[in-house]
Amino acid sequence: MQAASPALLRGHLFSRFPKFTSHDAEEVRQQVSRIFCDHDLKVVGKSQALNTQIHFRRGNRVSYGRMLYGATVDIEPGNLDDFYLIQIPVAGHETIQCDRHSILSSTNVGTIISPELAFRMRHEKNAEKLFIRVERNAFEQQCAQYYGHLLRGALHFDPAINFESPMVQSLKRLLEWQLFEASEGDLFNQPLVAARFEETLMVSLLCSLQHNQQASNEATPVAPGFVKRAEAYIEHHAHLPITAADIAEHVDVSIRSLFAGFRKYRNTSPMRQLKERRLEKVHHDLLNPGPDTSVTQVALRWGFSHLGQFSAAYQQRYGELPSATLKRRA
């Protein structure tokens, strides 16, 4: 991610989330195992000493971090069991051997390691990387919902991520923003917002990278009855951090079918309808404020993370700014 390096390196991402620092090989192995999985760790060369630093922000389905070993090390994890690992070097390089692939990973080439595939890596002394851990159950469930059928075996990605490929440019920008926001921002503290970010990341990975589950046919068109059930679900769960995947799972269709049904029968999308319902909830809360109610507080409570866009949408809907509604009622 060469073009992203200034943003990704600025402020040393995830410094707010220190996990541990150590010079002891066995302690490093044990601490890293707690974040990822059990593995063998070997320092290459007798003259080298570890200076390992790891920063880690744990999430619900997706976690983020930054790490360096401070020495050239060989790592033998065998294979991952319950998560996918995305690795993005921001300095130096590492070599990944995975499922007959040999990848020289650098600022231009990241990797995604899938469960059940044996791999090993050599992390060079000057290498530092950002990483994203995606829980396997959530990712495979997202994949099944997106394509509308059970997975044909485990979900496996081609391990190399070429950030210079035109097909990966949108994914690169998304990764840059999410990593920076997870490190420096506060949006991930809002469950409604964090759930949307996690879903967006997983769907973007499925759309942008090669894997073994790509669907060959479009989903079957849906019926109006399905749309009504989805609308009822939105109505009764707008206060929860629901995603398009949650709605699709509830009515037992794929995400593609979900959007196709709303587009055909309601001329909108399920998430836009959810947004409209939440705008109604915001309007109600501003009309019935407590002593400490603020527009920002109410907007974030109902999942509106971009306050400028929220204010514009609210004004278009109700003919006044949300601050005017609150001031009038207060």
Equal CATH topology for 2-141+153-167 and 277-330: no
**Model confidence over 289-328: pLDDT tens digits?**
888 899 999 999 998 888 888 998 888 888 889 999 898 7
Long-range contacts, stretch 184-191, CB < 8 angstroms, 24+ apart: 184/11, 184/13, 184/16, 187/305, 188/57, 188/59, 190/300, 190/303, 190/305, 191/241
Residue 211 and residue 155 in contact, taking contact as beta carbons nearer than 8 Å:
yes
Give residue 223's pLDDT band: very low, low, confident or very high (50, 70, 90).
low
Q: Where are the domains of the chain?
A: 2-141+153-167, 277-330
Mean of the pLDDT values across residues 33-49?
Answer: 90
pLDDT exceeds cutoff 80 at 14: yes
Superfamily covering domain 277-330: Homeodomain-like (1.10.10.60)
Can you give the pTM of this predicted structure?
Answer: 0.69
pLDDT exceeds cutoff 90 at 262: no
What architecture is the 2-141+153-167 domain classified under in CATH?
Sandwich (2.60)
Please tell me the predicted confidence (pLDDT) of residue 217: 42
pLDDT exceeds cutoff 80 at 191: yes
Tell me what the pLDDT averaged over the chain comes to: 88
Mean of the pLDDT values across residues 113-125?
Answer: 91
